[in-house]
Amino acid sequence: MMLPKIFVFVSLLFLNVYASESDVLELTDDDFTDELKRHENALVMFYAPWCGHCKRLKPEYAKAAELLIGNDPPITFAKVDCTESGKETCNKHSVSGYPTLKIFANGDLVGDYNGPREAPGIVKYMKAQVGPASKELVSEDCLKSFLDSNDVGVVGYFEKDDSPLSAAFHAVSKKLREKVRFAHTSNKKLLEKEGLSNNIVLYRPKILHNKFEANSVKYEDGDSINDVNNFITQNYFGIVGVRTRDNSAEFKNPLIVAYYSVDYVKNPKGTNYWRNRILKVAKDYPTFNFAISSKDDFQHELNDFGIDFVKGDKPVVLAKDAQGQKFVLKEEFSVDNFEKFVKALEAGELEPYLKSEPIPEDNNGNVKVAVAKNFDEIVTNNNKDTLIEFYAPWCGHCKKLAPVFDELGDKLANEDVEIVKFDATANDVPAPYEVRGFPTLFWAPKDSKNEPIKYEGGRELEDFIKYIAKHSTNALKGYDRKGKAVKAKNEEL
């Protein structure tokens, strides 16, 4: 009797998940110490079953464990339930949040895991944590095996492994081991075959080879650690880097990014088709940094540029200049349109994109509403001391603050002070304000709007009044400098 196709599919899927889960040890208070002593290197996840972040990490963690089976040296993955059988162990290791990941070597704590939370990133990070920072290559086959990778590789060729350049190379390998794969050799046959004796070479992975840049770059400068470090970091991504969620912070402005279906696992040919078109233009504009990114992984960035959905296969191109201003290629992507865009951006001829809600038609309330398009009018050039709240509509603390802020606006309606609120999720936050959580409040004195002060005081009405009364440029009419109400003359006896 044939099983239904859907049953077979679900069964295979279950078996695949089960197999991955079986590669992660479940440890308890009873066996944690003894079991870890048996393992040369181990990554341990301390978790709680109800934790949302733990649930998201769990499949990535299991996949990473599966990918590292057979690694040399071995890396074991384990987990501890801090709510049940591992309470004591979690307390012993000062676990205060979930998930917490820690690295162990033969049972001894090495340190906290501070790497990526996706399987490929976890694998790369853990490989960098174990064994020497640079792998020694003893034969041509070793070199071939090392370069057979989808990641950049840096190889040091040293006739004498105690040369100044070798010392700098090994120092940098220890510094960058979490990001870069390093290897070195002093094998005479290998040195002769490569025609190198005291050199460092950065090799680009075959999957990224193209006709616009060299497949490898030879280091030609001095022997200093700083020079070697700069050589690697400046050449690591090439002319057009593959920008992921794990490495996005390494791409600095001015930056031009092409967003499309970037997938080097399922569709390397299609991915490189568009990357090569970006390269064709990018090679002539060295003052910019260029990258490609998956449109699915960076939907939040597309949203920040007012793009809700990317239709079709062609890239969407977005850019930020050195000052962080945003620009959008409005025309459909083509090499010609892309080159015109980059040329105009370099010449300063493009109008920046500003994410903004519409300017309110009625803004006569005692708490003014600022949006990106009217921020200068409502805040920067209002000639008043200003208290600004940057909020998110969904934020519980912001909702709690709202009636207090409204009452504050009413209390100070006749003062030389403006109370302003700004939805930081629907509008670009202007410089020099920095918002990393909600609500964030700033005090902007009227004569120094370019140097706002982050408000760190209490959030009750009395707290705000005391702060404003003390810091206002001119004394308030209704309150003294200590924030105590001042009686009007007609109220005096």
Show which residues are catalytic. 51, 54, 395, 398
Please list, in sequence order, all residues whose beta carbon lies within 8 angstroms of the beta carbon of residue 117, skipping any fewer than 6 positions away: 56, 57, 60
Taking Cα atoms as reference points, which of 17, 79, 76 lies closest to residue 47?
79
**b vs e for 361-375, b when ≥16 Cβ sit within 10 Å of the residue's Cβ?**
eeeeebbbbbbbbbb
d(CA 162, CA 260): 47
Place of tokens 């020099």: 432
C-beta neighbour count of 112 within 10 angstroms: 11
d(CA 451, CA 119): 43
d(CA 95, CA 113): 13
C-beta neighbour count of 453 within 10 angstroms: 12
Place of tokens 């001119």: 474
| Phi and psi angles of residue 341, each rounded to the nearest 5 degrees, phi first | -65, -50
d(CA 395, CA 393): 6
Bridge partners, 260 (sequence order): 294
Taking Cα atoms as reference points, which of 371, 384, 375 lies closest to residue 473?
384
DSSP-derived pairing of the beta strands 440-444 and 385-391: antiparallel
| Phi and psi angles of residue 436, each rounded to the nearest 5 degrees, phi first | -120, 0
d(CA 424, CA 409): 20
d(CA 444, CA 259): 37
Report which secondary-structure segment, H or E, holds 130. Answer: none
C-beta neighbour count of 15 within 10 angstroms: 10
Q: Which two tokens stand for residue 83?
A: 């709510």
Q: How far is CA 176 from CA 5, 19, 179, 225, in A?
A: 48, 33, 6, 12
Q: How far is CA 491 from CA 117, 303, 465, 475, in A?
A: 65, 55, 21, 20
C-beta neighbour count of 238 within 10 angstroms: 24
